[in-house]
Amino acid sequence: MTDRSLSASRDFAVVGTDTGVGKTVVTAGLVGWLRDDGVDARAIKPCQTGHPPDDDAEFVGDACGDPAAATCLRRLEPALAPAVAARQANADLGYERIRDGCRDALEAASIGVVEGIGGLRVPLSDGREVVDLIADLELPALVVARSGLGTLNHSALTVEALERRGIEVHGIVLNEYEGADVAERTNPSVLASMTERPVWTLAPISTDRPGTVPAAVEDALDPDVFPH
């Protein structure tokens, strides 16, 4: 563990290898950790699909005990990629509006954390994808991935795609890590060797009580998980 002031952290993105890998839990934990340390950190969700019931920004707000801890720029009902959901809902979802909205939200926070939508190549709008947004915002990326069999390929390809776009990859969080089998136990060291990036593991965290998430993430990880 490195003794670092969290206030020296910088804006970053939490991206995933896929949907359902735990980006929101990690985002909520890290934003809550920063706020508990006195930093005005805020999560930024560029677009929420499947709403209702899905609302990642609301979960982060609940985890932090403050709705102002997270903002969502646009909510769409169809549970699809944003570009597809917008077509289905006959809604106008412009890429420049998303990008500029993220920039404004980052400017308004001491530390902003942009949470991705699904994986990197999920279509956002106007032919642009999640990876385009992270590149345009010039944010370092923390990758969230599954812990078990298959994660080596998905995680390494995600890191490669980010690097190809000139995006700094800060590290990888293997979520819901239990060390249940040989694949899971060896994945952290193998993935670190493959990507030459730090790999952290995060045990399963119950989301039934969102307010417990930040403390659980802080207990499991160390301050090096924050880009500086």
Is 58 among the annotated ligand-binding positions? no
Per-residue pLDDT at 151 exceeds 60? yes
Is 113 among the annotated ligand-binding positions? no
**Distance of alpha carbon 228 from alpha carbon 216, whole angstroms:** 22
Is 24 among the annotated ligand-binding positions? yes
- Tell me how many degrees the CA angle 161-76-217 measures, rounded to the nearest 5: 55
pTM above 0.95, yes or no: yes
What is the arithmetic mean of pLDDT over 93-117?
98
- Reported as a single tens digit per residue, the pLDDT across 84-93 is 999 999 999 9
Is 176 among the annotated ligand-binding positions? yes
Quote the crossing angle between the two packed helices 213-220 and 56-64, to the nearest 10°: 80
Per-residue pLDDT at 3 exceeds 80? no
By DSSP bridging, strand 123-125 and strand 128-129 are antiparallel
What is the arithmetic mean of pLDDT over 164-192?
98
What is the arithmetic mean of pLDDT over 59-88?
98
What is the arithmetic mean of pLDDT over 111-131?
98
Residue 1, pLDDT score: 42
What is the average pLDDT score of the chain? 97
Is 115 among the annotated ligand-binding positions? yes
Residues in contact with 119: Cβ distance below 8 Å, sequence separation at least 6, in sequence order: 15, 16, 17, 18, 19, 130, 158
Which one has a higher pLDDT value, 42 or 4? Answer: 42
- Reported as a single tens digit per residue, the pLDDT across 127-142 is 999 999 999 999 999 9
Percent of the chain with pLDDT over 90: 97
Exactly one of 35, 42, 45, 99 is catalytic; name it.
45
| Torsion sign, CA atoms 70, 74, 75, 81 | negative
Per-residue pLDDT at 14 exceeds 60? yes
- Reported as a single tens digit per residue, the pLDDT across 162-173 is 999 999 999 999
Provide CATH code, domain 6-225.
Answer: 3.40.50.300
Query: Which phi and psi angles does 133 have, rounded to 5°?
Result: -65, -45
**Distance of alpha carbon 60 from alpha carbon 113, whole angstroms:** 11
Domain range annotation of the chain: 6-225
Whether 113 is catalytic = no
What is the arithmetic mean of pLDDT over 174-178?
98
Is 212 among the annotated ligand-binding positions? no
165 three-class SS: coil
Per-residue pLDDT at 4 exceeds 80? no
Q: How confident is the model at residue 125 (pLDDT cuts 50, 70, 90)?
A: very high
Q: How confident is the model at residue 2 (pLDDT cuts 50, 70, 90)?
A: very low
